[in-house]
Structure 1
Amino acid sequence: MKKLIIPLFLMISGSIFSQVAIGASPENTNRWTFGGGIGFGFGSNSYFNLSAAPRVGYRLTDDLEGGVLGSISWQKSNAYSSTMLGVGPFLNYYIARTFFISANYQHYFINYKDKIYDFKANENEDALYLGGGYMQRIGTNSYMQIGAMYNVFWKENESVFSSGFVPSVGFVVGL
């Protein structure tokens, strides 16, 4: 199954982004931007994670963008399963279309089930991510963003997250 999912994911991603790059116009007068990221992971104890983070933005100026970001994540292993849904605003500042500085607030709704102790929980958690990164052009108005964020609200032993640090890879169309 793992051997089938990874090549399928790469083929779908490649075809989506090649169509975006081909259909993009040299002069982008539309101020709306779209993008996000998807991810998956495998691990020990039959661990599997699937996540998606779509975003819709609006270019306030040529270098400043604001919008709404959502996220959903499903995790499952032999010991537990969880579903996490997040939503909130973001603000990005672009430096010469090569680097970006970003801030985003997320409110998370978390549903957790421990299979070993037969424990269930529904929790909420807030996060304020600050960070930035590098942008690589992949089409006329399309970019891949690689960066890192830190949740300034994160506190050890009080958060459902294991760390405040979050690496990120995403795509944006419309810049």
Structure 2
Amino acid sequence: MKKIIIPLFFMVSGAMFSQVAVGTSPENNNRWTFGGGIGVGFGSNNYFYLSAAPRVGYRLTDDLEGGVLGSVSWQKSNSYSSTMFGVGPFLNYYIGRTFYIGANYQHYFINYKDKFYNYKMNEEEDALYLGGGYMQRIGNNSFLQLGLMYNVLWKENSSIFSSGLAPNIGFVVGL
């Protein structure tokens, strides 16, 4: 399933970007938005973490935006490794280009391998994040977003995630 969804996601994103990039400018009232975030982490026991979360949106009104969000993350240490891919729709409402409230649904595909116990796991998990945050203008139509989301589907003993809270930092171009 991942072998189909990942290339399809990138082809659709590329097609949308190529349609928007040709012959458009801010004066043409382009309603497409692009953005996302990246993350990297290091720790003890040769721990390494890398993530990327691209997003493509469309401004339905001046203050309401909907679109598709994807995420890919890799974790590796001396004791385990994991890969996680997620994809789903999002909806954001902007308040004066200073604050936002949003919702996004993610369906995750998780591959985990414990090196000491020779244990492998392939799971899928759903998440529905609700929350909001602050926006800081960093250009004409570009913003830095700082927020906090909560996964309302999170259950303590049955989730791959350690908590339902998810802080987020990202960039949006096109608002």
Classify the TM-score, shorter chain. Answer: 0.7 to 0.9
Name the residue aligned to 1:142.
142
Name the residue aligned to 1:84.
84
Supply the distance in 2 between the matched residues of 1:26 and 1:32 (Cα, whole angstroms): 10
Supply the distance in 2 between the matched residues of 1:35 and 1:28 (Cα, whole angstroms): 20
Supply the distance in 2 between the matched residues of 1:87 and 1:119 (Cα, whole angstroms): 26
Q: Deviations over 1:128-154 (max 9, x none)?
A: 000000000000000000000000000
Name the residue aligned to 1:37.
37
1:120 is the counterpart of 2:110: no
For residues 30 and 85 of structure 1, do their structure 2 counterparts lie closer, same or farther at Cα, with a shift above 3 Å needed? same
Question: Normalization by structure 2: what TM-score?
Answer: 0.85
Q: How far apart are residue 116 of structure 1 and its match?
A: 0.8
* C-alpha contact 1:26 1:140 (8 A) present in aligned 2: no
Q: How far apart are residue 28 of structure 1 and its match?
A: 6.0
Supply the distance in 1 between the matched residues of 2:79 and 2:164 (Cα, whole angstroms): 23
Q: Stretches of 4+ moved more than 4 A in 1? A: 25-28
Q: How far apart are residue 156 of structure 1 and its match?
A: 0.6
> Could you tell me the percent identity over the aligned residues?
82
* C-alpha contact 1:28 1:141 (8 A) present in aligned 2: no
* C-alpha contact 1:28 1:174 (8 A) present in aligned 2: no
Q: How far apart are residue 121 of structure 1 and its match?
A: 0.8
For residues 136 and 27 of structure 1, do their structure 2 counterparts lie closer, same or farther at Cα, with a shift above 3 Å needed? farther
> Number of residues paired by the alignment?
152
Q: How far apart are residue 158 of structure 1 and its match?
A: 0.5
| Runs of 5+ unmatched residues, structure 2 | 1-24
RMSD: 1.3
Supply the distance in 1 between the matched residues of 2:163 and 2:116 (Cα, whole angstroms): 24
| Runs of 5+ unmatched residues, structure 1 | 1-24
Supply the distance in 2 between the matched residues of 1:158 and 1:73 (Cα, whole angstroms): 20
* C-alpha contact 1:72 1:84 (8 A) present in aligned 2: yes
